[in-house]
Structure 1
Amino acid sequence: MKKILLLTAAILLSACSEKALYDNIQLNNRLQCDKVPLSEYDDCMSRASKPYEEYERERQEATGS
Structure 2
Amino acid sequence: MGWEEEKLIIAIVLNLLMVIEYVGNGIVTYSPSLMCDALRYTADFISIIVAITAMEVHML
Higher relative contact order (CA 8 A, sep 6+): 2
Q: Which of these two proteins has the greater Rg computed from alpha carbons?
A: 2
Question: TM-score normalised to the size of structure 2?
Answer: 0.43
Question: TM-score normalised to the size of structure 1?
Answer: 0.41
